[in-house]
Amino acid sequence: MNPPPEITPLELYSQLQENPNLLILDIREPYEWTRAFLQHPAVLALPMSELAAHGVDALPPQMRELQQPLVILCHHGERSRVVAAWLLAQGWQQVYNLRGGIDAYARQVDGSVGIY
Q: How far is CA 101 from the centre of its chain?
A: 8
In the predicted structure, residue 1 carries a pLDDT above the cut 80: no
pLDDT digits (tens, 9 = 90+) for 11-50: 999 999 999 899 999 999 999 999 999 999 999 999 999 9
What's the pLDDT tens digit per position in 57-100?
999 999 999 999 999 999 999 999 999 999 999 999 999 999 99
The domain spans of the chain are 6-113
Domain spanning 6-113: which superfamily? Rhodanese-like domain (3.40.250.10)
Residue 99: partners with Cβ closer than 8 Å, 6 or more residues away: 6, 7, 8, 9, 77
Q: Which residues are part of the catalytic machinery?
A: 74
Bridge partners (DSSP) listed for residue 48:
none
CA-nearest of 20, 22, 65, 60 to 44 is: 60
Instruction: Judge contact between 108 and 42, C-beta under 8 A.
Output: no
The pTM assigned to this predicted structure is: 0.95
Amino acid 2: pLDDT: 82
